[in-house]
Amino acid sequence: MNRAPTPLLRFENVSRRFGPVTALDRVTLDVRAGEIHALLGENGAGKSTLMHVAAGLEQPDAGELWIDGQPREIDSPRAAATLGIGLVSQHFALAPALSAEENYELVCRAGRRLYRRRDLEHRLERDGRVHGLRIPSRRPVGELAVGDQQRLEILKALGTESRILILDEPTAALTAHEFEELASVLRRWRKTGRAVVFISHKLEEVLALADRITVLRRGAVVGERIPGDTDATELARLMIGETLPPPLERTQSKPGPVRLRIENLRAERDVGPPLEIPSLTIRGGEIFGVAGIDGNGQQELFQVITGERQSEAGLLEMDGEDRLQADVSQRAARGLGAIPADRHRHGLILAMSVAENLWLRGIPGDRRDLRPRWLRWLPGTLSRRRLVEAAAPVLAEFGIRGEAAAPVSELSGGNQQKVVLARELSREPGVLVAHNPTRGVDVLGARFIHEKLLDHRARGSAIVLISTDLDELLRLSDRLAVLVAGRWRELPPEDRDRDVLGRALGGRLSGGGDG
């Protein structure tokens, strides 16, 4: 029998610790020429860390990397590039103020020391055509669609003649159509004898795209499968170490009184046509889903409801009272809860403790109990220790794994999101607006968040759920609208369908036609 060919890239017993946390535990993994290799695992399973080791961004504490059968040291991104390893990180390594051709030149340095713009544009276009990746030039990259930015990142990796292309969660922000395009580029590329490593936590896309799947859990390899010999259930079990709970049951909604009413609302956006909502009425006990790719007015809708952004015209009522002129704190005081999309920038103060973050919006109950013992007589004082003690039951209720006294930045992404959720929900908001509440959260964490949202719906909250995740929307929402290029359209109940939604998101607001 033939021995297996030498792998392009081999990790041998690679370990990496961050303080007390073991991120990688003796990982051994082969990446072969001509394959699309999926690395599957929950958030925090070590997928990204492993690939950062290969890309020279992290150094292993133990273990070796082999390239073409030779042990190699990869101590910088430059070393990785020399060995033909290209990484397309989850957070793109692009300079947003620079144009696509400038970003491309930054990496390939094919031009002269003093260049002409035309030459850069020409090279971008030519190389893009070779690989089937069209990218608009001349405009700042930050203004391009996420799909364009990703194509540029891939072209950058290809332009430096990578033999191993690593894609970290490449589909997080792509539409279904863009995913198909990406898949065909990768399949074409695989044929040239190179390899793709593709990091994901989405079972369906891994099964659709990969030739081989390695599953990581808590920093260790727990299984290797071929798509034909496995299924989503088995992969999920490997990923989370237990069987998935049965699908969530959404009970019949019992609509209560109108809690949020918006009429003829109009708000400027930073880019693109303004956000316009002709009419939106949400009753207590309803979840209203807003579908659409971010950048189509999602952020603005969120901000208009929370009061962070002024609307130019229209009507906005909460519980029957005009709140159009009310500012953020007034709206919050009248029972508005908000879960922002970017928990790091808008949801949490990372350097502050978990307990302090929980009480950012105010402290329920008798505050005198929270004063330090020796300052009991002084209003306004707070005891660090008592704050931490008061946080304990909340941490338990929301299953937050972490120390209440520790900085919230030390928590995993999922637990951080639960801190935001706990803070907003423990205020029992009458209206809750949530933007991508489960982004970057693992399966069990997302499931927990969904349960909590449904729980609050049952208790009479009106919930606006702005999300890019169609499955999430279809599972939770009582009613649905799409938001494309600032334009709002509510979907009739019979259109609750993945395909119809997908078509609507492609910019087609009228149903029918060929997709």
Task: Give Cα 420 distance to the centre of its chain.
Answer: 15
Task: Single out the segment in contact with another protein by CB under 8 A; choices: 16-24, 179-187, 214-222, 494-502.
Answer: 16-24
With CB under 8 A, what is the number of residues at the site for another protein?
Answer: 33
C-alpha 162/C-alpha 262 separation (Å) is 52
> Is there a contact between 237 and 205 (Cβ–Cβ < 8 Å)?
no
Residue 150 near another protein by CB under 8 A: no
By beta-carbon proximity to another protein, the closer residue of 108 and 183 is: 108
Task: Show the tokens assigned to 483.
Answer: 């938001």
Question: Nearest Cα to 26, choosing from 39, 38, 16, 37?
Answer: 16
Question: By rule CB under 8 A, what string of x and - marks binding of each residue 17-36 to another protein?
Answer: xxx-----------------
Q: Which of 93, 232, 375, 392 binds another protein (CB under 8 A)?
A: 93
421 HSE (CA, 13 A, CB side): 28
C-alpha 180/C-alpha 394 separation (Å) is 43
Task: Single out the segment in contact with another protein by CB under 8 A; choices: 14-22, 177-185, 240-248, 278-286.
Answer: 14-22
By beta-carbon proximity to another protein, the closer residue of 160 and 426 is: 160
Strand blocks (E) in 399-498 = 431-435, 462-467, 479-484, 487-491
C-alpha 123/C-alpha 102 separation (Å) is 10
Residue 490: CB atoms within 10 Å: 15
Q: Which of 62, 97, 248, 349 binds another protein (CB under 8 A)?
A: 97
By beta-carbon proximity to another protein, the closer residue of 156 and 201 is: 156
By beta-carbon proximity to another protein, the closer residue of 85 and 215 is: 85
CB of 59 to another protein, least distance (A): 9
Residue 98 near another protein by CB under 8 A: yes
SS3 assignment, position 180: helix
Task: Single out the segment in contact with another protein by CB under 8 A; choices: 102-110, 296-304, 415-423, 445-453.
Answer: 102-110
By beta-carbon proximity to another protein, the closer residue of 80 and 174 is: 80
Question: By rule CB under 8 A, what string of x and - marks binding of each residue 105-144 to another protein?
Answer: xxx-x-xxxxxxx---------------------------
By beta-carbon proximity to another protein, the closer residue of 107 and 501 is: 107
Q: Which of 5, 69, 71, 96 binds another protein (CB under 8 A)?
A: 96
Residue 100 near another protein by CB under 8 A: no
Residue 81 near another protein by CB under 8 A: yes
By beta-carbon proximity to another protein, the closer residue of 114 and 378 is: 114
CB of 78 to another protein, least distance (A): 3
Residue 162 near another protein by CB under 8 A: no
Enclosing H/E stretch for 498: helix 498-505
**β-strand partners of 12:** 64
Residue 95 near another protein by CB under 8 A: yes
By beta-carbon proximity to another protein, the closer residue of 4 and 114 is: 114
Task: Show the tokens assigned to 449.
Answer: 């968040």
The residue type at 44: G
Sign, Cα dihedral of 362, 363, 365, 367: negative
The residue type at 397: E
CB of 105 to another protein, least distance (A): 6
Distances (CA, A) of 386 to 409, 419, 427: 21, 18, 19
The residue type at 173: A
Q: Which of 57, 145, 222, 485 binds another protein (CB under 8 A)?
A: 57
Residue 87 near another protein by CB under 8 A: yes
Give the torsion through C-alpha atoms of 181, 183, 188, 193, to 10 deg.
150
Backbone angles phi, psi at 105, to 5 degrees: -65, -35
Task: Single out the segment in contact with another protein by CB under 8 A; choices: 12-20, 168-176, 420-428, 481-489.
Answer: 12-20
By beta-carbon proximity to another protein, the closer residue of 76 and 330 is: 76
By beta-carbon proximity to another protein, the closer residue of 20 and 320 is: 20
Instruction: Round the CA-based radius of gyration of the chain to a whole number and report it.
Output: 25
By beta-carbon proximity to another protein, the closer residue of 94 and 173 is: 94
CA angle 268, 271, 277 (to 5 degrees): 40
C-alpha 44/C-alpha 499 separation (Å) is 32
> Is there a contact between 265 and 464 (Cβ–Cβ < 8 Å)?
no
Distances (CA, A) of 344 to 407, 466, 491, 494: 13, 18, 32, 38
Task: Single out the segment in contact with another protein by CB under 8 A; choices: 92-100, 172-180, 251-259, 324-332.
Answer: 92-100
By beta-carbon proximity to another protein, the closer residue of 1 and 114 is: 114
The stretches of 176-291 forming alpha helices (DSSP H) are 176-190, 203-209, 232-240
| Interface positions with another protein (CB under 8 A) | 17-19, 52, 57-58, 76-78, 81-82, 87, 89, 91, 93-98, 102-103, 105-107, 109, 111-117
